[in-house]
Structure 1
């Protein structure tokens, strides 16, 4: 009986609960990252369109640790409303180009471009052998067209974006990618169910990865759904300042190894 009063089994219940509960109020250890989703331009790539040595090394270490690293880029889908998008864009003075190829061939179909749209002309020229020129884009639109894209100076794209959203409504997804520092912007018309967020959810289900085990990094508006669906969404320091208003953690810029900083801090 004495042992019941004075031994471990007779310890005061309140004291025992205090000891057993010690540390329960401390922050829980975050779930390990198993899936890292990266945007490309403005995120993975620096301003010179290269991946820094530090970032390459960080990604290599993450992959060696078993983390799945995926590139999630806003691309291309067959939309029945693509002709309507072409007409609407042209009515606002915007030049369209159409990306084609269900199997990722990446053909770029284009008709005439405005002489002053040097940015889009340069984009088309860089397509090289993948570029196909036609006389009438609407009449000669390929059956495997999967994205209508407009690109120009930022002001024109800022004006075009809300008009596209209002006119096309639920018939299509309209994404914007704006680069204020470069005075340039893109407006993409896609199928309404296509987004980077949907792509991320698909990969999570395919590989049985929990939301808490997912990190996503991006720098523009077409990254928004992916960022908010990840367990940890991180915004590049060079992103559109308005994107910082999402309240997500802001990394250093793409020229300051922002992706490497994130991997070193949250993955390794």
Structure 2
């Protein structure tokens, strides 16, 4: 019997219209009514994710910033937190300045960038997030952050990712949440680490957990979970390692997975 489900938000829980459908909402409510702990596991900031969690009626801790922050919804108590090492933060800012890359940082759950540009506007429109401009790079680089995000052409990001891994070493985790988003966290800031933490927090064995996602930043939690579910619209690499492939985010794939494994298990 599964006791804990962690669900990615973008292109997983929400459809292409950025909505949780009534059918998926009902399936989540039915799972919760059966005593299953349903949580979110997202690359989004807590401020962005908690709005969706509250809309669904969740009251449990949620996994945000790719796993760098696990925070209670009810009292907003921080349960798990990992910051990017400060030396790595400075190196990433220097690298991005040198190569004229768009870099975003998160300080006290607020999104900051050095300048306003189309990449920032598109990102914040997509995630419905407020943003703040701080032209002083030294100020931005001096603040602890759970996540740094570079936005650029997918092929170019694939080219620079190995350079950044070499530059930053073992202390950081680098992943892609979308083809044009390269994200840098603490090496324990993964959805897999956060899922293991939450399972222990609730006294669940990992065999009793389900993880559902669509992108490469979900692979650690799909591999860690007792049952790893890839969406029908997931990238091929995630489908290959998943235990099960459900329908797409536009076909209530999350509902289909909950129906199969929680509400109507064989």
Which secondary structure state, in structure 1, belongs to the residue aligned with residue 247 of structure 2?
coil
Matched, 1:47 2:16: yes
Cross-structure match for 2:253: 258
| 1:125–1:255 CA distance, 2 compared to 1 (3 A) | closer
Separation of aligned partners in 1, 2:129 and 2:8: 25
Deviations 1:59-109 (A, max 9, x none): 0100011000000113155321111112223444421011111xxxx2111
Larger C-alpha radius of gyration, 1 or 2? Answer: 1
CA separation in 2, counterparts of 1:241 and 1:129? 29
What corresponds to 1:95 in structure 2?
Answer: 102
Q: Give the deviation of 1:42 after TM superposition.
A: 1.0
Provide the C-alpha distance between the structure 2 equivalents of 1:267 and 1:90, rounded to a whole number of angstroms.
49
Describe the shift of the 1:62–1:170 C-alpha distance in structure 2 as closer, same or farther (beyond 3 A): same
TM-score (norm 2): 0.78
Aligned to 1:172: 172
**1:138 is paired with a residue of what secondary structure?**
helix
**Counterpart among 178, 192, 201 of residue 197 in structure 1:** 192
Give yes or no for the alignment of 1:60 onto 2:65: no
How far apart are the structure 1 equivalents of 2:252 and 2:93? 38
| Residue of structure 2 aligned with 1:85, choices 60, 83, 92 | 92
SS at match of 1:260: helix
Map 1:32-181; keep pairs closer than 5 Å.
32-74=1-43, 75=65, 76=68, 77-79=82-84, 80=86, 81-101=88-108, 106-112=109-115, 118-124=118-124, 130-141=130-141, 143-179=143-179
Whether the aligned pair in 2 keeps the contact of 1:92 and 1:160 (CA below 8 Å) is no
Shift of 1:52: 1.1
SS of 1:50 mapped into structure 2: coil
C-alpha separation in 2, matches of 1:37 and 1:210: 14
TM-score using structure 1 length: 0.77
Alpha carbons 1:99, 1:109 under 8 Å: kept: yes
Q: Secondary structure at the match of 1:239?
A: coil
Q: Could you say if the C-alpha distance between residues 218 and 128 of structure 1 is closer, same or farther in structure 2, counting changes exceeding 3 Å?
A: closer
Q: How big is the alpha-carbon RMSD for the aligned residues of Structure 1 and Structure 2?
A: 2.1
Q: Provide the rounded CA distance (Å) in 1 between the counterparts of 2:91 and 2:253.
A: 39
3-state secondary structure, aligned to 1:164:
helix
C-alpha separation in 1, matches of 2:127 and 2:229: 31
How many residues end up aligned between the 2 structures?
Answer: 225
Are the structure 2 counterparts of residues 255 and 85 from structure 1 closer, same or farther at C-alpha, using a change threshold of 3 Å? same
Does structure 1 retain, via aligned residues, the 8 Å contact 2:231–2:246? yes
Q: Distance in 1 between matches of 2:10 and 2:93?
A: 25
For 1:217 and 1:126, locate their aligned partners in 2 and report how far apart those are by CA, in whole Å: 21
Give runs of aligned pairs for residues 214-225 of structure 1, distance below 5 A: 214-225=209-220
Q: Which residues of structure 2 form unaligned runs of 5+?
A: 44-64, 69-81
